[in-house]
Amino acid sequence: MKFLLMVKSVVKNLVRGPVTERYPFVPKKFFKGTRGQVLIEIKKCIFCGLCQRKCPSQAIVVTKDKKNWEIDRLRCVSCAACVDVCPVKCLAMDTKYAPCSDKRYKDAFNA
């Protein structure tokens, strides 16, 4: 039987200081490959609709004749399937997440 084993770790903790980040005062650091929200470079888009077909959560709506690309941010599950499939590579994954919201909203882009 051993007692007070944690004392060592408590002392270490006191010396090291807190491990947690003081968010939101210190902004969170993201990694390069973090999947946040989808970004589009609408000028390059050819409105082929592949991203709409491949999106597993049906968050994207592409209207070819109106040249409109629309995403429902709260439906998007940040899987990056659309980014992988886009033939002209106009989609990219931001490391930041979409801003929070209590209502469903769509981001529409028009070329």
Residues engaged in binding other proteins (CB under 8 A): 1-3, 5-6, 9-10, 19, 31-35, 54, 56-57, 77-81, 84, 93
- Neighbour count for residue 40 (Cβ, 10 Å): 20
What does the alpha-carbon distance between residue 46 and residue 60 come to, in Å, rounded to a whole number?
A: 15
Our CB check for other proteins shows the closer of 28 and 64 to be 28
* φ/ψ (deg, to 5) at 108: -110, 140
Binding mask 64-103 for ligand SF4 (x = CB under 6 A): -------x----xxxxxxx---x-x-xx------------
13 binds ligand SF4 (CB under 6 A): no
Q: Which residues pair with 107 in a beta bridge?
A: 71
Taking a C-beta distance cutoff of 8 angstroms, is the pair 108, 63 a contact?
A: no
Footprint of ligand SF4 on this chain (CB under 6 A)? 38, 40, 45-51, 55, 57, 59-60, 62, 71, 76-82, 86, 88, 90-91
